């Protein structure tokens, strides 16, 4: 398939709208939506606690994974409906095969982060930590399950914003390859990494998911992948996610040791050369490995029929 064709089914729905914003305007709009969403989420928390520091700490927990990201999706939906005048599902939320694509993306995310952590374990750059402030082990199952729901919201919101709308608008209005590049760089900037390896990996993160979306023709797989990546890394392995300590409980409690080039240090596996290797391998698979369309559609149809009542 041709990833950067203007006829890719991820870009064509954007042209159903009456108005498609210029790339510069789209960038401004997305930044404004992000600022408004996190500000609105912070205000009620500050009122309740009467302390901005305490309110900011609340954003580090489940509240921060739900409220601001729900607001991001709501504001984007409003923009798409009112300004662009097109249905919100045209941002890549195709109905056909949605469940199967999401579950497949989730499985790929678990495999990829597990591969990176596995390489860290083989090289002795990660170890089990016997203590820690979080609830751990079997007793943490309930909290871990709740956090999965939170990461489903957070992961989907980030994909809707960056790959589903931002990349789509720029790709449809200008050039598909430009949408991929700009959205990948924007995503990396949002995560504010300072380590060179982490910066490279964040760009590869965005590039991989952009290509994944273009190959799939929707963002469902990316939503599942993003959820699995963050949740597995933080709440199953207990490692830092993009420089942030795990939110809430963890199944295992791992810690990086040795050189940060291999362990990722305080940034987590996304700052590791093993993360680089995993992303490069995944990009190669997405670009060069041919997919059996019949097998994939069968998986999608069967999964959807199994879950749909």
User: Which residues form the domain of 90?
Assistant: 12-307
Q: What pLDDT does residue 308 have?
A: 37
Residue 7 domain flag: no
Say if 25 falls within a structural domain.
yes
Q: Which of 177, 167, 141 is nearest to 251 (CA)?
A: 141
Cα 100-104-110 angle, rounded to 5 deg: 145
Q: What is the pLDDT of residues 258-272, one digit of tens each?
A: 999 999 999 999 999
Residue 239 in tokens: 């490692």
Q: Could you tell me which residues are beta bridge partners of residue 241?
A: 244
pLDDT in tens, 198-255: 999 999 999 999 999 999 999 999 999 999 999 999 999 999 999 888 888 899 889 9
Which helix (DSSP H) or strand (DSSP E) does residue 144 occupy? helix 141-159
Asked whether residue 2 is domain-assigned, the answer is no
pLDDT of residue 292: 59
Provide the sign of the torsion angle of the four alpha carbons 66, 68, 72, 77, taken in this order: positive
Q: Which residue bears the tokens 């789509």?
A: 168
With a cut of 70, list the residues of the chain below it in pLDDT: 1, 132-134, 291-309
In a domain, 36, yes or no: yes
Q: How many domains, in total, are found in the chain?
A: 1
pLDDT at residue 302 in the model: 38
Residue 192 maps to a domain: yes
Distance CA 92, CA 165 (A): 8
Q: Are 106 and 229 in contact (CB under 8 A)?
A: no
The reply to whether 220 falls in a domain is: yes
The pLDDT score that the predictor gives to residue 36 is 97
Residue 171 lies in a domain: yes
Length of the chain: 309
Q: Domain for residue 241, yes or no?
A: yes
Q: List the one residue out of 279, 297, 157 whose CA is nearest residue 223.
A: 157
Global pTM reads 0.89
| Long-range Cβ contacts of 24-32 (<8 Å, 24+ apart) | 26/165, 26/166, 26/169, 26/170, 26/173, 27/166, 27/182, 27/186, 29/79, 30/161, 30/165, 30/166, 30/186
> Which of 238, 272, 291 lies closest to 115, judged by CA?
272
């Amino acid at each position: 398939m041709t990833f950067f064709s203007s006829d890719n089914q991820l870009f064509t729905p954007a042209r159903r709208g009456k108005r498609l914003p210029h790339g510069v305007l789209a960038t401004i709009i997305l930044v404004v939506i992000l600022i408004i969403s996190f500000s609105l989420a912070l205000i009620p928390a500050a009122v309740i606690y009467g302390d901005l520091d305490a309110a900011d700490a609340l954003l580090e927990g489940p509240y921060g994974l739900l409220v601001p990201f729900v607001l991001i999706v709501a504001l984007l939906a409003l923009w798409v409906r009112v300004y662009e005048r097109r249905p919100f599902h045209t941002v890549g939320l195709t109905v056909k095969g949605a469940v199967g694509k999401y579950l497949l993306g989730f499985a790929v995310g678990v495999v990829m982060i597990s591969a990176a952590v596995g390489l860290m374990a083989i090289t002795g750059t990660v170890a089990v930590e016997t203590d820690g402030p979080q609830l751990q082990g079997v007793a943490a199952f309930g909290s871990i399950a709740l956090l999965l729901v939170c990461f489903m919201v957070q992961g989907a919101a980030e994909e809707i914003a960056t790959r589903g709308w931002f990349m789509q608008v720029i790709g449809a209005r200008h050039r598909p390859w430009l949408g991929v590049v700009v959205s990948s760089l924007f995503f990396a900037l949002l995560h504010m990494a300072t380590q060179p390896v982490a910066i490279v990996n964040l760009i590869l993160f965005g590039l991989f998911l952009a290509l994944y979306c273009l190959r799939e023709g929707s963002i469902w797989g990316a939503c599942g992948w993003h959820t699995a990546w963050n949740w597995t890394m933080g709440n199953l392995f207990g490692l830092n996610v993009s420089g942030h300590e795990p939110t809430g409980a963890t199944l295992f409690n791992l810690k990086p040791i040795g050189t940060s080039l291999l362990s990722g240090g305080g940034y987590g596996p996304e700052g590791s050369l093993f993360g680089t290797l995993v992303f490069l391998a995944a990009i190669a698979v997405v670009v060069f490995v041919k997919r059996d369309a019949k097998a994939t559609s069968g998986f999608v149809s069967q999964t959807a029929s199994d879950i749909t009542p």
